[in-house]
Amino acid sequence: MSNLKVGIIMGSQSDLNVMSEAEEILERLGLSSEVSIVSAHRTPRQMVEYAQSARSRGFKVIIAGAGGAAHLPGMVASLTSLPVIGVPIKSRNSLDGWDSVLSILQMPAGIPVATVALDGAKNAGILAAEIIGAFDKGVTNRLDDYKKSLEVAVLNHDKHLKRNGWKGNEIEEVE
């Protein structure tokens, strides 16, 4: 596997069950990542240090997830010119997740955060791979294979449905 490419950070250990999906899909796409807990509110000094050293540590993209008053992605984006992908998380202190979505999405001009869906860590991993893939043919090929596998799965589900009908059939999740 290639050297460290993606930094995955989250505000709390309680975000891990969502954010682990980013690490899993990156691994499947042949990209290495490092997972860390860094909080904008509880460890602000470590957050600054992390963001300012990320480029020299070899990261190409940062994925940052947080719930509630989710300042981590935006603050990290303000401290580095690496692309930052934000994952809003429906945490125990969330108002249905909207607080986190809006905190991460509505960034002021000049400091973008590429915001994925609520709990959308898997898409954050895929988007990070696509950014890296723009300069790496091997990663692009693996992304193409992955998307092909999604197509094949849906076509198989459709074939299965036509053959067996929908009643009493388990619906398999696509990927």
Which spans of this chain sit near ligand RP5 (rule: CB under 6 A)?
A: 10-12, 14-15, 39, 66-68, 89, 91-93
Task: Check if the beta carbon of residue 13 is closer than 8 Å to that of residue 65.
Answer: no
Helix 98-105 crosses helix 72-79 at what angle (to 10 degrees)?
Answer: 10
Q: In the complex with ligand RP5, which residue's Cβ is closer, 42 or 159?
A: 42
Least CB distance to ligand RP5 at residue 86 (A): 11
Q: In the complex with ligand RP5, which residue's Cβ is closer, 21 or 136?
A: 21
Q: In the complex with ligand RP5, which residue's Cβ is closer, 92 or 137?
A: 92
Least CB distance to ligand RP5 at residue 70 (A): 6
Least CB distance to ligand RP5 at residue 124 (A): 14
Q: In the complex with ligand RP5, which residue's Cβ is closer, 33 or 100?
A: 100
Three-class SS of the chain: CCCCCEEEEECCHHHHHHHHHHHHHHHHCCCCEEEEECCCCCCHHHHHHHHHHCCCCCCCEEEEEEECCCCHHHHHHHHCCCCEEEEEECCCCCCCCHHHHHHHHCCCCCCCCEECCCCCHHHHHHHHHHHHHCCCHHHHHHHHHHHHHHHHHHHHHHHHHHHHCCCCCCCCCCC
Q: In the complex with ligand RP5, which residue's Cβ is closer, 17 or 164?
A: 17
Least CB distance to ligand RP5 at residue 97 (A): 10
Least CB distance to ligand RP5 at residue 22 (A): 14
